[in-house]
Amino acid sequence: MTNDPYLELIKQQWPAIAETYNQFAEQQPIMLLDVQNTEIHAFPFEEFVLVLEAASRRQVETQYRRAAANRQMVLFVRDTEHKVFQSYTLALEE
């Protein structure tokens, strides 16, 4: 059992996350869930990684390529109140 406080939020927001992803599915976007605003955004990979530090870029690129090859999405959760910026790799539904 994991104590990840964001998994329940992701589960609650999943219909909206999936809907937003599906609008841009051909571009295989990176998704962002903003905790404070409960907003969901889809970003092109190339634009998203430009705002990251170099070391993070490499990690996210590896995660993204692996996710794309396995029919998965990369979702970031941003919680500014708790200073959390965390990524998840999630399976896409058929």
pLDDT (tens place) for every residue of the chain, 94 residues total: 468 989 999 999 999 999 999 999 999 999 999 999 989 999 999 999 999 999 899 999 999 999 999 999 999 999 999 999 999 999 987 5
Q: What's the confidence (pLDDT) of residue 94?
A: 56
Instruction: Give the closest residue to 31 by CA, choosing from 40, 22, 39.
Output: 40
Supply 20's token pair. Answer: 């937003």
- How far, CA to CA in Å, does 63 sit from each of 6, 17, 72, 75, 90? 19, 19, 10, 11, 11
